[in-house]
Structure 1
Amino acid sequence: MNRRTLLFVINSETADTVLEEAAEATEKTQGHLSLLLIDPAPALPIYAYGGPPYSGMNIPDNWGEMVDEAQRAQKSRVQKIEQVLAQSGVSADVQSVLCATLDVKRHVARRARVCDEVFIAADFRETPEILREAAHGVLFHSPVGLRLNGSMATDANRIFVAWDSSETASSAVHAALPYLKRAEDVVIGCIDPVMTTAGDGFDPGTDVAAWLSHHGCRVTISQFPSGGNEVGVCIQDRAREFGADLVVLGAYGHARVLEAVFGGTTRTMLEQTELPVLLAH
């Protein structure tokens, strides 16, 4: 994991202690910490007056002042963050942006494309729409993995890999390889595997287990029935039984619009806050 660049997406509410933990964890691996501070821009309130076809639009006079104030507040926070990083001695940089929610994915994706991994601060749980856009920016518009929950400083000694032989699951395992190689125990968990040639093979999980073993990973394979329960819930239950420090899984194996409307494993794992997860698409 040496010399890796970790993108940490934060907002102005992210505590200094969290930043210090991230800096310490990055310094320990001789990596580079790239911070992206994202705050919502003041909404542009536009009011209509009159009636069609002669109606017009009116922008409040103080909107520009609101934007200036938000920019000053964010600049002040950036300066404080730079002081925290300077005291830690870690190799780091800070970028900041005020933007509308729909633009979050674009800013996150652009930074993620030149990093090795992305971690999103827990503060974004308070703004789920921004968290969702940031996650989609990483998963759909960058080639790296996304980590949620837990702390960067926590070692992943026991890792549960949710495996279904899909392209997304493979992407997640590749993204998690640095952690898997350092882990003490890795479980390849197959939920309701389809034991056919066209499905997961006649011995699901053995191929990825063999590959990880070649990397020196200590791997076991387990196949679990869902019992009719939602797969995301099964993953959480089995991961807790294993005592997992990290869950690795592919994101949005089905069409994104279907999972957004009807829910799905990815949505379940994104919304839960107990288990640290690493996702990739």
Structure 2
Amino acid sequence: MSFKTVLAMIGNMEPAADLARAMEIATELEAHLSVMVIGLAVPATMGDFPAGTVWLDQRDQDLRLLDGIQKQTAGACEANGLSFDVDVVYADGGFVSEEIHRRALYADVLVIGDGVRADSMLTRRIVDGGVFEARRPLLLVPKGRKTTLKPRRILLAWNSRTEAARAAREALDMMTWAEEVHVVLVDPDTSYWVSGGEPGADVAAYLARHGINVVVEQLLSGDRLVEDVLERHALEINADLIIMGAYGHSRLRERIFGGVTASILEENKFPVLIAR
């Protein structure tokens, strides 16, 4: 597989659980695990006034907590015989995004668990720095279900858009190794200029030229949310992983009005690889 450096981001919520899932991924891939222990700092000024002792006390408390997580992380990685490095990043949102961007440039895949995703602001910073700026795939690892980057059966969410095509290209090696790839279109646009003569046929032919065993499926949502349709179908076909493109609309529109990507980031219970 092409994933040799895994960048896992953990926060101060459920750090042990998120780390355990990242270690499982790195062990499976025989990859180096790079861990960022991240804390979003409260700004040092409030309006036009400098912060007082309360801010300093909170900063010291946050840093002590993150330092403890860093030490526990290093101990767990050493105990499991992993090649690893671990650093603490504690800064306000913009600097955190920049640091994630810098680190993600030298990683093959980013990994976050439910603990990080419980913090919507931190998740947003990870998406901004890692997915948008560094253009690295992001693996969402939910608890309660095994997650693998060596899947036997894959569901590729397809809508004939650039984001979906980039996600497919990013995961091409993975799909080549899989036994079966289901290209799934929910309420597909059947107009010729969007999906060609038959929705899904073009991408199926493209994947088949790479030796991938492809099944094309067109599903009706029946007024259900697209993310719910995808997750339920993934369970029905016993898929190991959903692959999808990130943010089909503008980032601003997606944040204000939501969308499939936003919903998946917040509450999915199935392993998903997001790329852009």
Same fold (TM over 0.5): yes
Following TM superposition, by how much is the alpha carbon of 1:239 offset from its aligned partner in structure 2, in angstroms?
2.5
Find out whether 1:76 has 2:68 as its counterpart: yes
Q: Kindly state the Cα deviation for residue 170 of structure 1 after the two structures are TM-superposed.
A: 0.8
Aligned position for 1:203: 198
How far is the alpha carbon of 1:264 from its aligned partner?
Answer: 1.5
Partner Cα distance (1:155, 1:190) in 2: 23
Identify the match of residue 237 of structure 2 among 242, 267, 270. Answer: 242
Runs of 4+ displaced beyond 6 Å: none
**Partner residue in 2 for 1:214:** 209
Equivalent residue letter for 1:10: I
CA drift at 1:277: 1.0
- 228, 232, 241: which one pairs with 1:233? 228
For residue 125 of structure 2, give the secondary structure of its aligned residue in structure 1. helix
**Mean CA deviation greater in 91-100 or 153-162:** 153-162
Q: What SS class does the counterpart of residue 86 from structure 1 fall into?
A: helix
Checking the alignment, whether the CA contact within 8 Å between 2:21 and 2:141 is kept in structure 1 is no
Identity among equivalent pairs (%): 30
CA shift, 1:254, in A, is 1.2
**Of 70, 81, 84, which aligns to 1:92?**
84
| Offset at residue 201 of structure 1 (A) | 0.7
Q: CA RMSD in A?
A: 2.5
Q: Is the 8 A contact 1:248 1:278 kept in 2?
A: yes
Stretch deviating more after TM superposition (188-197 or 58-67): 58-67
| Structure 1 unmatched ranges of 5 or more | 49-56
Q: CA deviation at 1:235?
A: 2.3
In the TM superposition, 1:74-223 aligns within 5 A as: 74-150=66-142, 152-153=147-148, 156-223=151-218
3-state DSSP of counterpart to 2:216:
strand
- Which residue does 1:52 correspond to in 2? none
Distance 1:163 1:240 in 2: 17
Partner of 2:34: 34
The structural deviation recorded for 1:85 is: 1.3
- Secondary structure of 1:247's match? strand
Per the normalisation by structure 1, the TM-score is 0.85
Map 1:44-55 → 2, pairs under 5 A: 44=44, 46=46
Distance 2:64 2:218 in 1: 54
Residue 153 of structure 1: CA displacement?
5.0
Counterpart secondary structure, 2:243: strand
State the TM-score, normalizing by the size of structure 2. 0.87
Cα distance in 1 for residues equivalent to 2:256 and 2:219: 27
How far the C-alpha of 1:62 sits from its partner, in A, is 4.9
Q: Deviations over 1:206-226 (max 9, x none)?
A: 222233233332211111233
Q: Secondary structure at the match of 2:171?
A: helix
Partners of 1:187 and 1:221 within 8 A in 2: yes
Contact 2:3 2:108 in 1 (8 A): no
Amino acid at match of 2:73: I
Contact 1:42 1:70 in 2 (8 A): no
How many corresponding residue pairs? 273
Does the 8 Å CA contact 1:246/1:277 hold for their aligned counterparts? yes
Query: Following TM superposition, by how much is the alpha carbon of 1:268 offset from its aligned partner in structure 2, in angstroms?
Result: 2.2
